[in-house]
Structure 1
């Protein structure tokens, strides 16, 4: 059943929808086998414990892959993944900035539940006091219950102190940087405008030594400042090496790239090779690494037993200008709850296991926890609220996605809600820059994001009944929401 399509619904349909959503809310976290779902049939069968690889880009926009419409960035390997696998066009992250988005992916919970989001500050910094709470169950910890080897390569951004690093959150091995690649700047910004000026006017002359970011293996610092010219290549090499070493056991690899977050750096092999300039060079080097992983999986006979997911942590950071990406036809970007901030280019690839198709139903990084748990045969936690759903029925068959709604948080506040085709904005901000004003909308703005993904045409005056239905969904959501104390604000 497709809900809340473009045409207005009568009172009877609204009542039926409310009952349906109530039933879904009561059962969405129930453990089920993907093979038990009607219409579920993998192309080559579902392995008992498939391997999982998540490749997570940083600040990559919805329109930054050639398979998602970019005219001059050539992502041939990701395009192949999209052609042979599943291209998801309505896939969302948990937040529109780094720290809370990554928390949502790894825990399957909205970051407002565990304090990893804030109304005062966007992300963790090198002087932050806190990190991911030990009480949270990460996807790595969840899969270890089923005997999985777990490895992480890349940007963490969930606390830089030793007790918060990946080895203390379920990862057997870690190689990467603890926060964003623009932090630990050794110079001085004269103004907020000067910060962005570096990336709009002087972006090609920046030096990697200007950013005193540490490289960590396990919990030990091994290089500082990290050479960002070679970091993407080294991430790819580490991931390939780790996968090869663990090919004979079920494994989970989380490869979280530091780029194309500014400042942009790339290796000599890729510098000057893209028609899109330096930004394109960076994206195409990431794509090259994805190709290396695909080649390894095929050479080692692992491709049909491994699910690879590619997506991004949030939309493009538009104020960085030429150094930033594109959200394509979506509105706005990073740091906003417009579609360009939270809808990401997403591809699932597992030849012989997942049927090839374009998926226009909703999904979210929040759902990877539930989905991977189901496929690995690990019961879902029953001592906490979870916000994901199991996507197995749609991944492996013809069922519709169980995700019918999406909650768009900015910090600890709920800014917007999507229900079916419609999205209501209660608050908006236009850009992720200092001083951006929050605007309240009463009645909320209303868009049909299936017919109008650019969010240009406000329908609030035409469909008050849809707004009322979304308000009821918000009321039910808030009744089950306990917000944790803000862990990001403590600094210095």
Structure 2
């Protein structure tokens, strides 16, 4: 599809004021920070129930804002989830329906600039300064890097911190078992360093410092609103943290990584306070997918305790990363704050999706969402504001594979798992769970509720057809 690049919006007069999401009173554009955690589970934060990981900064964020307890990541793995989030489109729609699966150092493709419009592009066209610090994972070649997709500044790594030279065992992902190169640290589009494991351990601190400098420059020098995606790396294997911060958690190396992320969140929050912009800044915390829950021999051989997943550590949701069947892979913790707009200490259990952030942020900033392609994200500002009677804008939320094919459907309080072959087991019939009483998806109640199964199966059929024909999913 040949289209006019949506950055035509840049030709529109740029202003530091815009209309509100309801298009009435002129308001000052808020700064927007999205803290995109990597592989952090639904209950890996103390404010979401963790007993062995302490997250006081995120707890404070939750106390000042709203917890979203039915927030769904678009996919159970990094690349398709991040692609969907940044474009507002279900993963199988990405790159004109080609989809985009997990990218590796030898991958030759990525998020196509001529096919997709990102939230960074929309906000930049509205006068925002845009920056990304941390992990990208949407293509490591120059034509796919963040600065091609609307980010003014980028400092980070182009793929996960475990795609390094020690990973030679899985030849299915690496051609002929060839080891990966040392992980590049990239500034804008320039590789400024090849990182060993000691370097990787210090990168989280570097990204935090540079993210805070970005905030300062945007406010004091550019004097423009900013959009910051802070995409941490330390909660993805290997769970390296800067020297002096090991052994702090009761949940081993992974717990140390989550607690270090929490410290970084606290530093960012303090930066906002010092600059006096806390009240005009939206902060969103979410994760790209669920946590590792199964042991991986290769990770253990490569990284020892920094790659060891404790199978005895329990989660409230079933399964974890690498799958879209059960909620452990795609239902993640989410917190949002915006003083004076999002009520403090609130909780919302309406089902929403990470793609909704695309549409909602665009509306808040005064941008129109693209009308030359299907956008699956909806405006959830009424939910964020805690408006009386506000409901999810989705009839259902769908767990698609990266390149198509539906595995699960969240409908009201119900979760349906579609039949078929999967590494978590083969199902010959649909399985239905009542999440209001069985958040762990342990009791199949399909036989007791055949009408519910029939209703959701019809939704699933329609959703699959909509994806295959590149049409909107009926809501």
Q: TM-score w.r.t. structure 1 length?
A: 0.81
Q: Which residue of 1 aligns with 2:394?
A: 403
| 2:371 aligned with 1:392 | no
- How far 1:47 moved relative to its partner? 4.2
Alignment of 1:262-273 (within 5 A): 262-273=237-248
How many Å separate the matches in 2 of 1:220 and 1:483? 39
From 344, 353, 357, give the equivalent of 1:364.
353
- How far 1:172 moved relative to its partner? 0.5
Q: Which residue of 1 aligns with 2:215?
A: 243
How many Å separate the matches in 2 of 1:301 and 1:429? 54
Alignment of 1:9-158 (within 5 A): 34-35=21-22, 47-115=27-95, 122-134=101-113, 135-158=115-138
How many Å separate the matches in 2 of 1:188 and 1:114? 29
From 392, 408, 424, give the equivalent of 2:416.
424
From 341, 344, 361, give the equivalent of 2:332.
344
Equivalent pair of 1:96/1:314 in contact (CA under 8 Å)? yes
Q: Summarize the Cα distance change of 1:125–1:116 in structure 2 as closer, same or farther, 3 Å threshold.
A: farther
SS across alignment from 1:480? helix
| 2:452 aligned with 1:480 | no
Equivalent pair of 1:150/1:172 in contact (CA under 8 Å)? yes
String of CA shifts for 1:341-387, please: whole Å, max 9, x gaps: 00001110223331120111112111001100110111111111111
Q: Which residue of 1 aligns with 2:301?
A: none
How many Å separate the matches in 2 of 1:165 and 1:187? 23
Q: Which residue of 1 aligns with 2:176?
A: none
Q: TM-score w.r.t. structure 2 length?
A: 0.83
Q: Which residue of 2 aligns with 1:464?
A: 450
Alignment of 1:274-353 (within 5 A): 274-320=249-295, 323-324=308-309, 328-337=315-324, 338-353=326-341
String of CA shifts for 1:378-407, please: whole Å, max 9, x gaps: 111111111111010111132223234110
String of CA shifts for 1:404-443, please: whole Å, max 9, x gaps: 411001232111111111111114677xxxxx3662432x
String of CA shifts for 1:454-486, please: whole Å, max 9, x gaps: 0011111011111111122223323322478xx
Structure 1 stretches of 5 or more lacking a match?
A: 1-31, 38-44, 193-209, 431-435, 485-492
Greater relative contact order, per chain length (Cα 8 Å cut-off, separation 6+) = 1
How many Å separate the matches in 1 of 2:23 and 2:122? 22
- How far 1:51 moved relative to its partner? 1.0
- Greater CA deviation, 316-325 or 284-293? 316-325
Q: Summarize the Cα distance change of 1:126–1:327 in structure 2 as closer, same or farther, 3 Å threshold.
A: farther
Q: Which residue of 2 aligns with 1:380?
A: 369
How many Å separate the matches in 2 of 1:129 and 1:310? 31
How many Å separate the matches in 1 of 2:188 and 2:64? 35
- How far 1:211 moved relative to its partner? 7.3
Q: Which residue of 2 aligns with 1:184?
A: 164
How many Å separate the matches in 1 of 2:155 and 2:242? 19
How many Å separate the matches in 1 of 2:440 and 2:420? 15
Q: Summarize the Cα distance change of 1:133–1:122 in structure 2 as closer, same or farther, 3 Å threshold.
A: closer
How many Å separate the matches in 2 of 1:267 and 1:456? 39
